[in-house]
Amino acid sequence: MITIFCTPKNFEGIFDVIQKNAIRSWRKVSSEIEIIIFGDSFGAKEIASEVNGIYYPKIKCSKNGVPFLSDLFDKANKISVNDTLMFINADIIIPKNIFDPIKIIRNQFQNFLSVGSRWDLDVDQSINFEKEDIVKLFWEKANNYSVRSSPAAIDYFIFNKNSIKKIPDFVIGRPGYDNWLLWYARRNLIPLIDLSNEIRVIHQNHHFNFHNIKQDPKIYYEEDGLNNRKIHGNKVLNLLDANYELINGMINKKKSKEWFDRNLRSLPQIFPEISFVLKLYRKIYRKYLI
């Protein structure tokens, strides 16, 4: 099966509603999923107990009390019982079919990173996932009114245990770490698979807040946010840079002219040591081969 891990914000206000909705949706997909809740956020222990998950409060954090991505992945790799893991933001509701492609992917690739778009939706009430009629109404609303977010916003990552290593000390909830993970996959020749065509995950809209940090642009952009940007620099990609995609239940390598053109532009970011050769090839391609 699969292990899902996350680090939630404090379960207060709207975050009490949307995070419980999300985590309950994970358990509803299957009773066999292992769920690990990292961090000592208020209410995290209780929701872990409710969904029969693992509560792991001790994680490394920045001076602002925000968890480091590196420690989350290190600990998840060590304590998870399954070979396939999913790191997901704690406000994401997942559909029942989210893991359907995993068997196909694992049969095709030894290592992989599967990602996808999120769809944004206003949700301000608790969802009872034990009542099928309520769940059906929710997904009808989601399918009709949710809005697909930017390809730069990635909220879940599915991968094989120990395939993503030596992650820098990015902080969660700040720009860039998600885009760096995509860069890491391409850089290390790990197939980067976009599931967006067939998997719709729902991001429940909210204002920004992580533990003691609220809507403070100065803190967001000048402290942990700046640290993230300093770490990733130009090493960032988005969903458009995935080299595989899920179509009709099959994993296909991208071959369109649009993707080929974009890939030529992205390769110098991925392999800067040969950027001169790549840029020269791009010029020749544009001049003589188009």
Rounded Cα distance between 122 and 135, Å, is 16
| pLDDT score for 215 | 47
- 167-176, 201-210, 265-274, 280-289: segment of lowest average pLDDT: 280-289
In the numeric block, the tokens 């946010």 are attached to: 225
Domains plus CATH for the chain?
Answer: 2-247 (3.90.550.10), 263-289 (no CATH)
| pLDDT band per the 50, 70, 90 thresholds, residue 218 | low
Long-range CB contacts for residues 251-257, cutoff 8 Å, separation at least 24: 251/101, 251/104, 251/105, 251/108, 251/193
- 108-122, 141-155, 250-264: segment of lowest average pLDDT: 250-264
- Going by their DSSP bridges, the two strands 92-93 and 201-204 should be labelled as antiparallel
In this structure, how many other beta carbons lie within 10 angstroms of the beta carbon of residue 74? 17
Q: What percent of the chain has pLDDT over 90?
A: 80
- Nearest 5°: CA angle at 62, between 12 and 159? 80
- 24-33, 54-63, 207-216: segment of lowest average pLDDT: 207-216
| pLDDT score for 211 | 46
CA end-to-end distance (rounded Å), the chain: 46
| pLDDT score for 272 | 86
- 108-117, 210-219, 222-231: segment of lowest average pLDDT: 210-219
Is 212 exposed, middle or buried (CB count within 10 Å of its CB: 0-12, 13-18, 19+)? exposed
| pLDDT score for 212 | 45
Starting at the edge strand that comes first in sequence, how are the strands of the sheet with 34-38 ordered?
A: 54-56, 34-38, 2-6, 84-88, 156-160, 113-115, 192-194, 244-247, 250-253
Per the CB < 8 A criterion, the answer to whether 126 and 204 are in contact is no
